Structure 1
Amino acid sequence: MEPPPPQLARQAIHPPEIRLEHAPVALFRLSGEQAEPLNARARKLAAPGNSCDAAALYRQLQEQDGERRWIRFETERGVERALASASSLVIEGRPERLLALLPLESELEAETLRAWQQLVHVLTHEIMNSLTPVASLSRSAAGMLDETAALPDGLRQELELAFAAISRRADSLADFVASYRSLSALPEPAPEIVRIAELFERLQALTAPSWKSRGGQAVFSVEPPTLELKADGGQLEQALINLIKNAYEATAPQSEARLAVSASLARGGRLRLEVSDNGPGVPEDKIEQIFTPFYSTKAKGRGIGLALVRQLVNGNGGTVRYARSVSGGARLILTF
């Protein structure tokens, strides 16, 4: 009798239960009021260190019907999005509901960043191409006006005001566009060993006095103090400065403004940096947009700061998420 083909032999060694255990999606069995993890990815997703509230996650899963649907849930890294799809079937005469959950936050973030980089690059290039001759012509016209004597004083004054206004707006728009160019022209990271305690000392010396001068407090902590990270030190520092600046502006109305910047090891050995304040926080319906270029919750904001933070952090192999704070205020979590 001939031995079974290699493919059948592998199937005998790896029965369906083992293949299910190592499936590339999180699988759950839905029954009554319960959601039961069926494989390693599902157990990991609901375990401490990932989902902050497994019960809340299970409640969302129970609400799924047969359609694919996006869900959002809290993790130690902040709010994550995943694609959920449920189906009904009969196993050994019993009806079952199975649900597949595929976390896609990191993939969506990477694709979104690439798309925005391309869009910003094209927009800034085209706007500057049109803006440069406008600015040049307005200045040339103003110079020609100075050389023209035969004009009524009233008309001359109106033309001078018009050309000056065009020139000012052109310069202002050029500055505006140049600020967005930074999103599509960041230098490649130059990784080095960054000692987090030393980085925090510099940040504290740079920012704490301004918080103290208005009756506030800025606290920096590292645990353990020997924490290190391989990243571009300048880019990481710039990302944290942007977050601290946002916190400073958000807490301006507070009589006792507080900033807390901490570094620690998360489960799995990941480095976790957290920046939190006691300001008003971000409204629930705006959380998903805060990292989007051009979008700002400030009346006069340009929507660059947080978009730049995410690009700097992602470029150094990390993620940045907004996390809800039980005590109010804003929390942003950087994980590497």
Structure 2
Amino acid sequence: MGVVIPLDESKNKQASIKPLVDLTRADMERVNQLILAKAGSDVQMIPEVANHLISSGGKRLRPMLTIATANMFGYKGDAQVKLAASVEFMHTATLLHDDVVDESDLRRGRKTARILWGNQASVLVGDFLLGQAFRMMVEVGSLEALDVLSTAATVIAEGEVLQLSVAKNMDTTEDDYLQVIRAKTAALFAAAAEVGPIVAGTSKADRAALKSYGMNLGLAFQLVDDALDYGGKAADLGKNTGDDFREGKITLPVILAWRRGNEEDRRFWREAIEGGKNDDAGLERAYGLITKYGALTDTIARANHYGTIARDALAALPASPWKSALMEVIDFCIDRVN
């Protein structure tokens, strides 16, 4: 089931994060060592739960942004390593909490921690990782970096609560949805990209440019994720396709199909999302309506819009392999639907 939406067929090659991976490899090895060390605890369940998710094959894109945006300005310290590990711990904590709130069974192709250890353990280990993240931020000694990341943590929590308040509510608007993903997803991308230039001591203009890059990259990334749930493969998404529908999540493809549908279509969406009638037959109909009303195509168009803003944010920065790699990351995030 599902429909894959092609993007620009004139592209000659698939975009990749390999240039960014190669450039950040040495520092990311140090980040990964630090992550494993800081995930340790005398309480046996903590490293078990933490390492289940940490070792599950995520791309570590957010910490790579921190490494790249520090090194592109010639930074020669180790603060970026601690901040990158902090960013990854914040992200991991968010995933642990998300899976509890969403009652998710699968994450990156594996059973979620909540299924294996229970909701309480997942929430508390997430809290432990947040605590470790803030300890590493303090070790760096940059109040500006601490301010950026602690503010992001607050915004993410606000986004979680906002998503809860609009869950299974078909009256949710596109603006509501964008407010949720700006807080839940894009805020951490923005913070990850901003703390690099902070520790590198570069100009406020460069810092603002990379914050904008991260924010808009994060918006594009989440829009594509939401499209993939209705038009992708589980291998690309890291969870079962259709999970958003089964969990009653209001995402942009649903909002657009609802808004463009007739009375009968809207009755279906209310019964499926608000009433919980989200079996396989309902999912098949949802795919059909989303395709009929061009909701996937337009969701990807919006992702491209934010990708363009991210490219524009980088445009004024000096040419370098780092800048080129960050540019390609934008295409990689969007091209996942091909």
Q: TM-score, normalized by length of structure 2?
A: 0.22
Q: Which has the larger radius of gyration?
A: 1
Richer in helix (by share): 2
Q: TM-score, normalized by length of structure 1?
A: 0.22
Richer in strand (by share): 1
